[in-house]
């Protein structure tokens, strides 16, 4: 195995299970910090702000793509898997960032986009030249039907058919996203091996793990069978479960275009590669409507697949006990020894405060309540940049949109730019301290009012730091079992316990006060969770609206 000084730095931590229960901070590099005034965040900017991230008390960072790309889909269309796009810097900038992160005790995970690449990648340029070249079968090509239509009914997530006609080969090629993002053919072992070598490139540089974009999209049905419609009687898998409700993508049950059983074999090969290196990890993104949590269980079972996965189950508008408890219980019922990673926000969905705020809510308090709830769940966690400032979705005008998804479905769907606007560091500085140039997306005035330098005692940022410190002090919160207790209405109560500690958690998701009666023989006293007013009185827990309680059990 090839080694580097950076890899040796990463390997000094002997805890191979560091990822289990870890808190991961997601960085969207083009919106985090610009260092050269071109209006786009970059890797030196990330390095500049690593001390801030470390101060939050997180364990790792996840960097969204920074690879060479035409940027049709903001870097999720990769044209060179083994280099840094010049807008983000150089490989040396990456190495410097990695070294500084490790010096601060932060693990570094990077986004691997393996299911598809850019149509500007040399592999695709060669593949489309003819039907008999060396890479002719590296992508998913298919002949048209006799009437010239695509071979089946598969749809693109970004709108329209998932097939694009190529006049040179006189065939269609598959693209589950943009037409400029052709799907790689994972049925070809040479493709698998080539992709794994790109993963090895970054392992040799010393990265600690990978977030696998659209991990259940790798394989397609080799018979190209059409997908059936979703059952309208199944709310969990109906329209909108796999896409916003204005997108017809959600009208299909994607039995044949993704989540194929062959994926398990490739994930074993991926894990075997990671296991050649010390203390590396992986988290897969799974999006498949009602099947997502079962797929997470399937992909993380045992010790030869992915370490963990996350889904979109908690990234929607539902803010209820039934929703949160249901997602956790479905996963716990499906999995034996696999692991999940929960998140409330990321770069693909509206920020969770915007989704959950009601009239009269204090955004800072809802942010504090949300992180208290998230950190109490069994699993690892992802925090998306800016949520610790209680940022809400920015309002981006149509003429400023860059997201192809939003442009395609405007005005019914505004896309993802509203959660991707630049991070705000200094309220009094131009563009919130993000850049000295013109930012690639406008900086929201409302966001500048919540910038890092304005977040004093009692702020959302202060609460995040306190609650993440609280979680880090209790191993039962990180890796312990979870057992739900009986509760009525919008009260959620559960125990987290390991061999050394038992903790009781009670959350009131209503905006009005309520009480919860302790089970017989469960005496508790002081509320341990910082910043909340809920209290115990005899056998009763008194909770205000959006209140939280935690106590140690004997």
**Catalytic residue list contains 276:** yes
Q: Burial letters for 361-397: b for 16+ Cβ neighbours within 10 Å, e otherwise?
A: eebbbbbbbbbbbbbbbbbbbbbbbbbbbbbbbbebe
Written as six digits, the tokens of 181 are 């993002």
Sign of the dihedral through C-alpha 531, 533, 536, 540: negative
- The length of the chain in residues reads 554
Residues 6+ apart with CB under 8 A from 393: 350, 351, 353, 354, 418, 419
Rounded CA separation 531/458 (Å): 8
Q: Which residue is catalytic, options 59, 77, 85, 213?
A: 213
DSSP assignment string, 430-469: GGGGS-SS--SSPPPHHHHTT-GGG--TTSHHHHHHHHHH
Q: Which residue is catalytic, options 276, 395, 445, 453?
A: 276
User: Omega of the bond prior to 95 within 30 degrees of 0, cis?
Assistant: no
Rounded CA separation 454/463 (Å): 14
> How would you classify the pairing of strands 540-543 and 514-517?
antiparallel
Please answer whether residues 335 and 365 qualify as being in contact, where contact means their C-beta atoms are separated by less than 8 angstroms. no
By annotation, the residues acting in catalysis are 213, 276
């Amino acid at each position: 195995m090839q080694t580097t000084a950076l890899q040796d730095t990463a390997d000094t931590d002997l805890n191979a299970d560091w990822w289990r229960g870890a808190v991961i901070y997601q960085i969207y590099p083009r919106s985090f910090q610009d260092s050269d005034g071109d209006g786009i965040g970059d890797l030196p900017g990330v390095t500049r702000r690593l001390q801030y991230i470390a101060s939050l008390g997180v364990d790792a960072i996840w960097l969204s793509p920074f690879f060479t790309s035409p940027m049709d889909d903001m870097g999720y269309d990769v044209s060179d898997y083994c280099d840094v796009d010049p807008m983000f810097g150089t490989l040396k900038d990456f190495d410097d960032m990695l070294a500084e992160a490790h010096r601060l005790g932060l693990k570094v995970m990077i986004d691997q986009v393996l299911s598809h690449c850019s149509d500007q990648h040399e592999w695709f340029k060669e593949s489309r030249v003819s039907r008999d070249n060396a890479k002719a079968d590296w992508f998913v090509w298919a002949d048209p039907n006799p009437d010239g239509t695509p071979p089946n009914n598969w749809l693109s997530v970004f709108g329209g058919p998932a097939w694009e006609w190529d006049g040179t080969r006189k065939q269609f090629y598959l693209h589950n996203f943009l037409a400029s993002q052709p799907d790689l053919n994972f049925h070809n072992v040479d493709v698998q091996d080539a992709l794994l070598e790109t993963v090895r490139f970054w392992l040799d540089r010393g990265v600690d793990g990978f977030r696998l974009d659209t991990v259940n999209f790798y394989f397609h049905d080799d018979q190209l069978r059409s997908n059936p419609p979703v059952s309208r009687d199944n709310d969990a898998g109906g329209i909108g479960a796999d896409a916003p409700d204005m997108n017809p993508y959600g009208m299909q049950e994607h039995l044949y275009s993704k989540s194929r059983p062959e994926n398990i074999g490739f994930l074993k090969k991926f894990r075997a590669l990671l296991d050649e290196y010390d203390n590396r990890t992986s988290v897969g993104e799974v999006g498949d409507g009602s099947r997502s949590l079962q797929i997470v269980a399937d992909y993380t079972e045992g010790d030869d697949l992915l370490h963990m996965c996350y889904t979109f189950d908690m990234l929607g508008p539902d803010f209820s006990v039934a929703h949160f408890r249901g997602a956790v219980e479905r996963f716990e019922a499906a999995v034996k020894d696999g692991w999940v990673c929960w998140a409330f926000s990321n770069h693909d969905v509206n920020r969770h405060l915007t989704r959950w705020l009601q009239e009269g809510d204090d955004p800072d308090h809802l942010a504090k309540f949300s992180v208290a709830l998230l950190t109490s769940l069994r699993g690892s966690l992802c925090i998306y940049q800016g949520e610790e400032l209680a940022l809400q979705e920015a309002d981006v005008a149509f003429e400023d949109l860059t997201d192809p998804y939003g442009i395609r479905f405007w005005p019914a769907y505004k896309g993802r730019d509203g959660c991707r606007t630049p991070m705000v560091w200094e309220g009094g500085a131009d563009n919130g301290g993000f850049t000295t140039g013109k930012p690639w997306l406008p900086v929201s005035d409302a966001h500048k009012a919540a910038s890092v330098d304005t977040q004093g005692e009692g702020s959302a940022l202060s609460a995040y730091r306190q609650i993440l410190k609280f979680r880090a002090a209790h191993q039962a919160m990180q890796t312990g079992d979870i057992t739900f207790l009986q509760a009525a209405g919008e009260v959620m109560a559960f125990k987290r316990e390991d061999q050394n500690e038992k903790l009781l958690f009670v959350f009131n998701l209503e905006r009005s006060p309520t009480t919860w009666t302790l089970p017989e023989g469960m005496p508790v006293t002081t509320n341990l969770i910082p910043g909340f007013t809920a209290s115990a009185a005899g056998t009763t827990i008194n909770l205000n609206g959006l209140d939280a309680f935690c106590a140690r059990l004997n």
